[in-house]
């Protein structure tokens, strides 16, 4: 399907939870306004960052609806519908189309591994068929699904079975494979980068859009990486990417997404903690994270 292309920095949006772990849709609007004012050009909802896999299907629908309504067409909303049950995934895709989401995306099942291109095509065809009017993006994240599919072969062979296939969310670190996907069939596919700590490499390889978790808290920094690269100032873009790497290394000392949510809380956004199996952080750990982020200057360079 040829559709409008994604561009710029798309936030893999966090799902706000209450202190006792329930979905908190009242906190979606302030989060969306924060993201849009920081220069975000799209929202990816219920992905890894949004804990889609840890929510019930009813909760996923509630979250998708809250983001779609609040965003009200200002930027594209992509709803991630992947599930171990393809029946559930398809029904989440149907729901996404029904509520007016702009695009759907899905991981492959991960309990039983998908171990071949044909199996992946057949699985994703079932899911995409739930939303026949929406562009479909396969969410390639082999580190979490455990399915190491040849994604170039997937793109080559899938179009007949998945007429709505628009592209990929490419969350792996193989720049050469990312480049092959971008260049395939004269650039027919919208291939979106998903590894924030390597954004510079992806831009150099031809990326025009990226979906990631850390764009929730540091979009202006990444925007400066892009601008410096476009202006030919490679040294400056490398210096800025290095700050992103330091930020991610700091957060990775803790349960990563809990640390990210703690930073959003510091900025006054009531997103709560993460749901198990991701561990929450104690008050002491949050204080330590804050001082470590201060040490690397995060609060000076992440917001402007």
Residues that bind ligand MN9 (CB under 6 A): 12, 48-49, 171, 194-197, 212-214, 248
CB 232 to ligand MN9: min, Å: 26
Nearer to ligand MN9, 59 or 197 (CB): 197
Q: Is 169 a catalytic residue?
A: yes
CB 12 to ligand MN9: min, Å: 5
Nearer to ligand MN9, 125 or 281 (CB): 281
Nearer to ligand MN9, 123 or 171 (CB): 171
List the catalytic residue out of 139, 170, 215, 254: 139
Find the residue with minimal CB distance to ligand MN9: 212
Nearer to ligand MN9, 41 or 125 (CB): 41
Q: Is 174 a catalytic residue?
A: no
CB 274 to ligand MN9: min, Å: 11
List the catalytic residue out of 61, 169, 261, 286: 169
CB 132 to ligand MN9: min, Å: 26
Residue pair 63/50 in contact (Cβ under 8 Å)? The answer is yes
| Residues known to be catalytic | 139, 169
């Amino acid at each position: 399907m040829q559709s409008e292309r994604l561009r710029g920095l798309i936030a893999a949006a966090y799902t706000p939870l209450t202190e006792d772990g329930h979905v908190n849709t009242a906190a979606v609007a302030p989060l969306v306004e924060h993201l849009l004012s920081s220069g975000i050009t799209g929202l990816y909802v219920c992905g890894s960052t949004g804990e889609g896999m840890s929510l019930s299907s009813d909760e996923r629908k509630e979250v998708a609806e809250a983001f779609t309504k609040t965003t009200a067409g200002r930027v594209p909303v992509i709803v991630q519908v992947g599930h171990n049950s393809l029946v559930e995934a398809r029904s989440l895709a149907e729901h996404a189309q029904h509520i007016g989401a702009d695009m759907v995306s899905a991981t492959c099942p991960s309990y039983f591994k998908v171990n071949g291109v044909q199996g992946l095509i057949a699985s994703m065809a079932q899911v995409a068929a739930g939303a026949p009017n929406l562009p479909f993006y396969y969410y390639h994240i082999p580190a979490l699904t455990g399915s190491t599919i040849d994604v170039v072969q997937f793109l080559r062979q899938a179009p007949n079975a998945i007429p709505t296939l628009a592209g990929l969310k490419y969350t792996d670190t193989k720049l050469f494979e990312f480049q092959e996907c971008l260049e395939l069939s004269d650039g027919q596919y919208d291939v979106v980068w998903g590894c924030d700590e390597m954004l510079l490499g992806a831009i150099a390889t031809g990326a025009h859009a990226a979906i990631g978790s850390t764009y929730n808290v540091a979009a202006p920094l990444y925007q400066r990486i892009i601008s410096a690269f476009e202006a030919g100032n490679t040294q400056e873009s490398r210096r800025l990417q290095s700050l992103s790497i330091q930020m991610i290394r700091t957060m990775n000392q803790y349960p990563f997404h809990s640390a990210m949510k703690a930073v959003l809380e510091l900025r006054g956004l009531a997103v709560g903690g993460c749901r198990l199996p991701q561990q929450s952080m104690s008050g002491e750990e949050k204080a330590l994270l804050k001082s470590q982020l201060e040490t690397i200057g995060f609060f000076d360079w992440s917001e402007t």
